[in-house]
Chains A and B, each alone.
Chain A
């Protein structure tokens, strides 16, 4: 038991990340607002709002519009009808302060805190209207604070995929690094033990790479609208998979054990260095845009989004999956050695 503590730790981390990653709620937010494109001069100007994970009927609501350019001008709703926890119909007096016809919509209550949807309403007849009263809603900044994942447009609930998609790649890179380390050890000593470890680790890494591609593909369909998009990181991942599948073909094309171990090790080292160049250098060059966070522009996600509630879950998922990956590789190595031993008997 003593030497197996890391397996227990890894399993616990993965179980924690699975439970926390799927159970913790997403913070409340404003999902959509109907009457997107309206003539605001017709009073009362009605907007029906649907919220997500909200508690509209639990506390008193305040609803107001904020002009996108003239941020200080706030126009409060004259009448608010709460249908249920997720739906509100708000009526506004005629609004439209000159230049900018686009308004953001804010809803505040003490249960949910301040919810805001930028550019929620686009008005048409700005020239006719007059600026009606500006109001100052009372907002308690600390209201509605809860331990929950952030609510992001475009991502919504799929934000949880961060705990499943990204750790797959971390795990794959970690396993490939471990296999290259063992392949180098093999070339230095020509001890078949290291080659078996390295080979089985690569096969496990391919499994994790495929899982990373599948989770990423599903996520891309939900957020970016296509199963596959043209992106440096996606292409890099696909090419890495091709290189390692080629490794498997190369290895299986030879019969002699010593020879295939040696040539496999050489190709694996070669492919690994090129993969590092591909994933590490190319996306950082000028003029390469990626939809992924970190570099390039991405409307849905950026580095600040990994906020304090997600961080512990994310890190434990990464650590846990890397350990599980190494464990799988170790078991595969053992199975391989046992098969070999029974064949030799």
Chain B
């Protein structure tokens, strides 16, 4: 089978697995909603744009750690060994990334929905905001998939996942938060292409790195 076909098969396997244990996805969704509720009780309504923005992305950051950490934790050693004989390791990481990116985007849209209702929605430039949401969540999904793979090798420690992941995603998050602030303000005279391009480049870079490095991580 070609790499593409293998990846497709692996993505389907991820979705099948998700379908069989729905509680996990709902668990993460519930996590998003409860976090938004906690912020609601803390802040009531947020009028200040930078605070709104920072809090929203902080919620998404922690959501992505929790949502993506599962992707390698849930695999038992036996199952990984079985996959090792069946498919190319690069298909495994590409499929996990694709799946996590889709998952993160769903969670982000849901998070934005609840956050907008409960805490207030000052977004002016909706188109740009959703593009930022897509690019930022894609980046978070990709980066944390790789970090989750590394952390799972080192004993599946949640603390480890955070300390390894945060320094790696901070550049990405800095770009995203800035772009998102432009979108919320809605004051951009022209589309801030330099930020969008930098974000796209960052996503491509992380994907490329994971693609190259994962085969070394995989072998035991």
A interface residues, Cβ below 8 angstroms from B: 187, 235, 239-240, 242-243, 245-246, 249-250, 253-254, 259-260, 262-263, 265-267, 269-271, 273-274, 277-278, 281-282, 285-287
Contact = CB atoms under 8 A, between A and B. Distances in A.
B168 A277 contact: no
A237 to B, nearest CB: 12
B156 to A, nearest CB: 11
A285 B195 contact: yes
Contacts of A265: 216
A231 to B, nearest CB: 13
8 contacts: A239-B170, A246-B167, A253-B154, A259-B220, A266-B150, A277-B171, A281-B198, A286-B192
A267 B216 contact: no
Nearest to B216: A187
Given A246-B167, A250-B154, A262-B216, 18 more contacts: A242-B167, A243-B167, A243-B168, A249-B163, A250-B164, A253-B154, A253-B155, A260-B154, A263-B150, A266-B150, A266-B217, A267-B150, A270-B213, A274-B206, A282-B171, A282-B175, A282-B198, A285-B175
Contacts of A277: 171, 202, 205
Contacts of A274: 167-168, 171, 206
Contacts of B178: 287
Nearest to B213: A266
Contacts of B202: 277
Contacts of B97: none
B153 interface: yes
B160 A249 contact: yes
Contacts of B25: none
Contact of B209 (A239, A245, A253, A269): A269
B160 A263 contact: no
Contacts of A254: 154-155
A274 B202 CA distance: 9
B160 A253 contact: yes
Contact of A270 (B160, B174, B175, B209): B209
Contacts of B171: 239, 274, 277-278, 282
Interface residues on B, range: 20 to 34
B209 A273 contact: yes
Contacts of B205: 273, 277
Interface in B140-189: 146, 150, 153-155, 157, 160, 163-164, 166-168, 170-171, 174-175, 178
Contacts of A246: 163-164, 167
B167 A239 contact: yes
Contacts of A250: 150, 154, 160, 164
B113 to A, nearest CB: 30
B76 interface: no
B150 A282 contact: no
Interface in B119-140: none
Nearest to A186: B216
Contact of B166 (A240, A242, A286): A242
Contacts of A245: 163
Nearest to A281: B198
The 6 closest A-B pairs by CB, nearest first: A243-B167, A278-B171, A242-B167, A246-B163, A266-B213, A239-B170
Contacts of B21: none
A281 B153 CA distance: 31
A63 B24 CA distance: 80
A253 B150 CA distance: 12
Contact of B154 (A263, A270, A271, A273): A263
B194 interface: yes
A277 B204 CA distance: 12
B195 to A, nearest CB: 7
A238 to B, nearest CB: 9
A262 B217 contact: yes
Instruction: From A235, A240, A265, A274, name the one whose CB has the most chain B CB atoms within 10 angstroms.
Output: A274
A233 to B, nearest CB: 13
Contacts of B146: 270
A240 B174 CA distance: 14
Nearest to B167: A243
Nearest to B151: A250
Contacts of B194: 285-286
Nearest to A277: B171
Nearest to A245: B163
A190 to B, nearest CB: 9
A263 B217 contact: yes
A254 B160 CA distance: 12
Nearest to B197: A285
Nearest to B164: A246
A278 B160 contact: no
B29 to A, nearest CB: 29
A285 B170 CA distance: 16
Contact of B157 (A253, A282, A286): A253
Given A249-B160, A263-B150, A271 B168 contact: yes
